[in-house]
Amino acid sequence: MNPYQEINERVAVVATYRVADSISLCYPAKMRWRSRDISFVELGLRHPTTKGNRMIHVFDVSDGVNDYRLEFDAEALTWTLVSLRGDM
C-alpha cells in the first residue's frame, strides 16, 4: 500500500532564501492549501529535474507531522502540491 496520497493541486508558497556555505539556497517556507496555512520545519530533499523542456525543482518538506512533495515549475513560476503523506 502506498502511504502517499496523490494531490496534484496548485498551491501558493512563500519561499525563503538563505546563504549556507557560500551557496544561496531557495526553499519553501510555508504554503496555503485548501484555505490552510502550513509552515514547513524541515527540508528533506531537493532536486532539479525536467518535464519535457521545462525545468522542475522537487522539494520534499515536512511540517513536523505530515510530509509533502512540492514541485516548482521554473518556467511557469508555479508551485504544485504533488503528494502528501500523513493524516489531513
Q: What is the pLDDT of residue 1?
A: 58
**Which residue's entry shows cell 512563500?**
14
One-letter amino acid identity for 26?
C
Which residue from 10, 3, 1 is spatially nearest to 84, judged by alpha carbons? 3
* Region 43-71 average pLDDT: 94
The pTM (predicted TM-score) of the whole model is 0.89
CA distance 84 to 88: 9
**Which residue's entry shows cell 556555505?**
21
- Mean pLDDT (the chain, rounded): 92
Instruction: Summarize pLDDT for 19-48 with one digit per residue, the tens.
Output: 877 777 888 999 999 999 999 999 888 899
